A = this chain, B = another copy of it.
Amino acid sequence: MLPAMDTLETRELRYFVAVAEELHFGRAAERLGMAQPPLSRAIQQLERRLGVSLLERNRRGARLTGAGEVLLQEGRAALDAAAAAVRRTRRAGGADRPGGPRDRLVLAVKAAASHELLRRLLAAWALEPGCCEIEVLPCGMSEQEELLRDGRADVALMHTPWNSLAGFDSEPLVTEGQVALLPAGHPLAARRSLSLAEIGDVPGLPLARWPTHGTYPPGPGPEIHNQTQLAQLIALGRTVAVAPDSARSWLWAEHAAVPLTDAPAVVTHIAWPPHSRSLPLAALVRTATRL
């Protein structure tokens, strides 16, 4: 029997994703803990089986073809799905914590976002009859999607328009406007309201840049990694930022918040993987939407 032309082993996907990300067979092999020749051969076999060229080999590394781009994206999704299958199955069988509670929900939240909402949600959940333990998993700015996809989290709080809800089930919880965060002494800080255009090109006060999926948008402003860093740079009069209303709760004395008239509203959603049949999850979502 020929080796199943229409199916890909996750091993092959892991190999290809590693090569596609490194664009270098040697480094990819090292990352995979194997030697370079078998990796080269595996990718060649993959290309032959698919009947498609995935990489343009250069003397100096490699470049992805269009089909390679597609396989990188789809392959990551498939690997996430396989990883999720393992994690969720182990959890369902109680194999992750021997003897531990098998009803446990992992909730992914951006560190330092939606404090107040989270507090209220956990309080309401504790009063719920069917409640179970909730493990709060703090994560980076755009990490929730991946955590939900690969099964490390069961449910997440996400914020449109920053997070994409594509591929998940979700319910909106709270809508809030956005404010400009300025140094308290700055002339604009005295204004009652501002527009995005007005803060977009203030001389000497470039707009801070947040990472989205690991990469930063282009611009003159500083690259921000966490909220504390941002707070400091604003207090030092080095930058200005756009944030939801609820950011007021962590402002310093040196900060000022001015409502923005034309910034898109931020909606906090509770989101979870589609087709979930978990009863605790359904109960948590119900609790959240009733807050």
Q: Is the interface of A mostly helix, strand, loop or mixed?
A: helix
A38 CA to B33 CA, complexed, in Å:
29
* Chain B contacts for A176, CB-based, 8 A: none
> A52 — which chain B residues lie within 8 A by C-beta?
89-90, 92-95
Count chain B CB atoms within 10 A of each CB in A7, A94, A169 and give the residue with the most. Answer: A7
Q: How far is the CB of A17 from chain B (nearest CB, A)?
A: 10
Residues A8 and B166 in contact, CB atoms below 8 Å apart: no
Say whether, besides A51-B90, A66-B93, A81-B81, A277 and B73 are in contact (CB < 8 Å). yes
Q: State whether A81 touches B74 (Cβ < 8 A).
A: yes
Known: A52-B93, A70-B92. A85 touches B9 (CB 8 A): no
- Cross-chain contact A11 with B9 (CB below 8 angstroms): yes
Taking a contact as CB atoms under 8 Å apart, the answer to whether B275 and A166 are in contact is yes
- Assembly CA distance A24 to B82 (angstroms): 24
Could you say which residues of chain B place their CB within 8 Å of the CB of A66?
92-93
Are A8 and B82 in contact, CB atoms less than 8 angstroms apart? Answer: yes
With the chains together, A69 CA to B89 CA distance in Å? 8
* Cα A77 to Cα B33 with chains together (Å): 28
Most buried by B among A33, A74, A88, A151: A74
Check if A166 sits within 8 Å of B71, measured CB to CB.
Answer: no
Nearest B residue to A85 by beta-carbon distance?
A: B74
Q: Contact flags (1/0) for A1-41 with B, using CB distance below 8 Å?
A: 10000111111011000000000000000000100000000
A83 at the interface (CB under 8 A from B): yes
Q: Identify which of A6, A13, A166, A168 gathers the most chain B CB atoms within 10 Å of its CB.
A: A166
With contact pairs A51-B90, A52-B93, A169-B166 given, residues A78 and B85 touching in the complex (Cβ less than 8 Å): yes
Report A236-279 residues with CB < 8 Å from chain B CB: 273-275, 277
**Interface status of A84 (Cβ within 8 A of chain B):** yes
Report A143-166 CB contacts with B as 1/0, cut-off 8 Å: 000000001000000000000101
Interface residues of A in 36-94 (CB under 8 A from B): 50-54, 65-67, 69-71, 73-75, 77-78, 81-86, 88-94
A77 → B minimal CB distance (Å): 5
Task: Report which residue of A1, A11, A70 has the largest number of chain B beta carbons within 10 angstroms of its beta carbon.
Answer: A70
Whether B74 lies near A33 (C-beta < 8 A) is no
- Give the interface of A toward B (CB within 8 A): 1, 6-11, 13-14, 33, 50-54, 65-67, 69-71, 73-75, 77-78, 81-86, 88-95, 151, 164, 166-169, 273-275, 277
What are the 3 tightest A-B residue pairs by CB atom distance, in nearest-first order?
A52-B93, A67-B93, A167-B274
